[in-house]
Amino acid sequence: MAGDPSGHQGTGGLSIIPPTNSTLNEVHDMTMITSSSLSRIAEPITPTLISPAMLGWRKPRQVAYINRHPQLNDQCLYFWNHQENTPVPTDSQDLIMLMEDIYVEQRGQFKAHKLIVDADLGLDGRLRLIVGFSTSCATTLMASLAALSPELLLGPLSLRLRAGSSQGVVLPAIYVDNDWIDGRPLSRDERGNPLPAIDLLTEVQTLLRHAMAVDLLPHQVRQQQRQMV
């Protein structure tokens, strides 16, 4: 496994949030802490704003790979230890996330096309998921995301990853709005053939832009800024 060209290190012991059916609170609110010694107020109380960075919520984005690595048996989600050149399994293969971006790019020594999903895990920080763009895992994931409404796409998503019965196969499952989502039957052309991965990606990106009420997704903004330099 080649190192991540973005320079992010993937060796942290991130604790992934296990899925739950309970109602999820928004994860972006700032925490306001005030002095509350009301019995001895001599001056108006000035609130002290504690930023997420001070509380450790905004860690640098970690990178995790979705893949059946031969050293990990049935563990499908792992970080990469660049110093020892070995995979480091995450604490769980289940996570709850808010999706921030999704795109494809060439990575690694062989310039392989990878599907990139940038996600916010709340108190566990921000995560970049990387999976082969042409894999059944990527197409299944994109088909399920494309089946969601813009409102559901922007809300909390539960992602479960499991090893398939065939060698090298990872099975992703999306749980949202009290239901498991499988968009593969809907992601077919007029002849019943599965849609190409790039068409699925375009559909999900269109939904995400609509949900976020933006013209450009974050990766497109970065591309535009690089072109202006």
For position 58, what pLDDT does the model report? Answer: 52
Sheet holding 62-66, edge to edge: 86-89, 77-81, 62-66, 126-132, 112-120, 94-107, 157-163, 170-176, 179-181
Each residue's pLDDT tens digit, 49-75: 444 444 444 567 899 999 999 999 889
Each residue's pLDDT tens digit, 105-126: 998 778 899 999 999 999 888 9
**Where are the domains positioned within the chain?**
54-228
For position 197, what pLDDT does the model report? Answer: 95
Give the chain's residues under pLDDT 70.
1-59
For position 201, what pLDDT does the model report? Answer: 97
Whether 102 contacts 117, CB under 8 Å: yes
Crossing angle (nearest 10°) for helices 197-212 and 136-146: 40
For position 218, what pLDDT does the model report? Answer: 95
Count of CB atoms situated within 10 Å of the CB of 96 = 20
Question: Residue 62 has what DSSP assignment?
Answer: E
For position 59, what pLDDT does the model report? Answer: 60
Sequence-distant (6+) residues with CB within 8 A of 75 are 69, 89, 90, 93, 163
For position 7, what pLDDT does the model report? Answer: 41
- The single-letter code of the amino acid at 111 is K
For position 66, what pLDDT does the model report? Answer: 97
